[in-house]
Amino acid sequence: MDIKRTPPTKTRRNVMIAGSATALVVVTAWTLTLDPAAQTIERSAVLIDSVRQGDVVREVRGPGTLVPEHIRWITAQTSARVERLASESGKSVGSGELLLELSNPDLQIQTMQAEQQVRQAQIELLNLKTALRSQLLTQQGLVATTRTQFVSATQEAAAADSLAKRKLMSEFEVQTKRAQRDEFTTRLRVEQERLKLMEEAIDSQIATQARQVEQLKAIAANQQARLQSLHVRAPDTGVLQDLTLQLGQWVPEGTTLAKVVQPGQLKAVLRIPESQAKDVTIGQKATVDTRNGIVPGHVTRKDPSAQSGSVTVDLALDGPLPNGAVPDLSVDGTIVIEKLSNVRYTGRPAFSAGSGAASVFKVAGDGKSAVRVPVELGRSSVNVIEIVRGLDVGDKIIVSDMSLYANVARVRIK
């Protein structure tokens, strides 16, 4: 006999499932309302500074090198071969001291040819003067002869006129004497004009040939100077640098052979970041750290353009250089921009590139956490920056590089 069984009720199971789902929804909603877990940083890994009130000296700093104020470059005046080295880099040299000797046989031949052309032109000038002087004397003699003939013809014509009045000479002979007088009058005038033209032409021809001689002399002098330049000498007193030539080496014209610097007259050339260089002006006071002493100076020149993110600034040194200060020595320079009176300031954050809106991590009162807060930064110096708004005196902030926490609003300090 079959026994009828009542199926078990599912109410209890359904209630349990519904309760579990409700609990999961509640936990999930509660979790979403919580802040994400704060990241932890070690206190020893960050730098913390406080906001202070007072006077601040604005400065900008940049690396650089010591550069000679006076550099004399020595270049090859002509292509030549190195025959002898009379000095070496690092040696003190005097003005006119022999540094090296070069040789170029072709240049010697060209110099002799130029001098020969000068001598030939001088001979031609002398011959021209002689020929023109002889022609002038001949013409002067011809003018004198023609003048005598003119006087004689004039007198004969006058005598013929006198005889013709007394019927002692025929009219034909009178006309002949008058025609001779007119002829010699014209001939005298022509010869005199020819003499004048010759005198003027003589000066012009001699001047032209003389200029030719002077030009050839200049060419010969230039060739001679190029020949003398094969004996390379120091143009000034100083220290010889960059003389790296070898015996037998061929150097083309225009090649830099060496340079002479005056080590006692140095200047500092700094590379200031372009974000800070906008406030640098001529005449500002500065100091230069040579790693062997601090030398005062002032700004003398500022490059009008930036290169590779920095602006070149020249400093004149106002004090004596310490021992060991040589050209190309690496130095650090600090330029004083201005003095700020009674301002809020703090240590310059690592991320700060200048004034404007930014955000920093402000340390809580217990020192166990830091929260990102917006601030407005003002004028900056090498190590400090002005706080315009967003922080009060006594607040502490993290000035280390926090770029790894750019998307985090809160960090825990352990």
Percent of the chain clearing pLDDT 70 (strictly above) = 90
Please return the burial class of 295, using the count of CB atoms within 10 Å of its CB with bins 0-12, 13-18 and 19+: buried
Please return the burial class of 28, using the count of CB atoms within 10 Å of its CB with bins 0-12, 13-18 and 19+: exposed
CATH class of 73-104+230-260: mainly beta
- What is the pLDDT at residue 5? 53
Four-residue CA torsion sign, 402, 407, 409, 412? negative
How many Cα atoms are found within 13 Å in the side-chain-facing hemisphere of 307? 7
DSSP assignment letter at 307: B
Model confidence band, residue 100 (pLDDT cutoffs 50, 70, 90):
very high
- What is the pLDDT at residue 31? 39
- What is the pLDDT at residue 3? 53
* CA proximity to 74, closest of 308, 261, 334, 312: 261
**26 pLDDT more than 50:** no
Q: Which two tokens stand for residue 170?
A: 């025929």
Q: Which helix (H) or strand (E) holds 250?
A: strand 250-251
DSSP assignment letter at 403: G
Give the residue-averaged pLDDT of 273-288.
88
Scanning the structure block, which residue is given the tokens 């034909």?
A: 172
**333 pLDDT more than 90:** yes
- What is the pLDDT at residue 1? 44
- What is the pLDDT at residue 133? 86
Between 24-38, 102-116, 231-245, 376-390, the lowest mean confidence (pLDDT) is in 24-38
pLDDT in tens, 239-267: 888 888 889 999 999 888 998 887 778 89
Q: What is the DSSP annotation of 24-61?
A: HHHHHHHHHTSPPPPEEE-GGGS-EEE-EEEEEEEEEE
**226 pLDDT more than 80:** yes
Give the global pTM. Answer: 0.56
Neighbours of 376 (CB within 10 A): 14
Between 283-287, 309-313, 366-370, the lowest mean confidence (pLDDT) is in 366-370
Contacts of range 319-322, beta carbons closer than 8 Å, 24 or more positions apart = 319/295, 320/295, 321/264, 321/266, 321/290, 321/295, 322/290, 322/292, 322/293, 322/295
Neighbours of 209 (CB within 10 A): 19
What rounded mean pLDDT belongs to the chain? 84
In angstroms, the Cα distances linking 262 to 62, 198, 240, 291 are 25, 62, 9, 21
Scanning the structure block, which residue is given the tokens 């006076």?
A: 70
Fold of 39-67+263-413: Elongation Factor Tu (Ef-tu); domain 3 (2.40.30)
User: Is 355 in contact with 379 (CB distance < 8 Å)?
Assistant: yes
Q: Which two tokens stand for residue 387?
A: 């706080």
Percent of the chain clearing pLDDT 90 (strictly above) = 26
pLDDT in tens, 36-61: 556 888 888 888 888 999 888 888 88
User: Is 209 in contact with 174 (CB distance < 8 Å)?
Assistant: no
How many Cα atoms are found within 13 Å in the side-chain-facing hemisphere of 7? 3
Sheet (strand 80-85) strand order: 231-233, 98-103, 80-85, 250-251
- What is the phi/psi pair of residue 272, to 5°? -95, 135
Between 98-112, 290-304, 350-364, the lowest mean confidence (pLDDT) is in 350-364
**145 pLDDT more than 60:** yes
d(Cα 225, Cα 244) in Å, to the nearest integer?
24
Please return the burial class of 101, using the count of CB atoms within 10 Å of its CB with bins 0-12, 13-18 and 19+: middle
Distance from chain centroid for Cα 131: 57
Q: Which two tokens stand for residue 73?
A: 């470059």
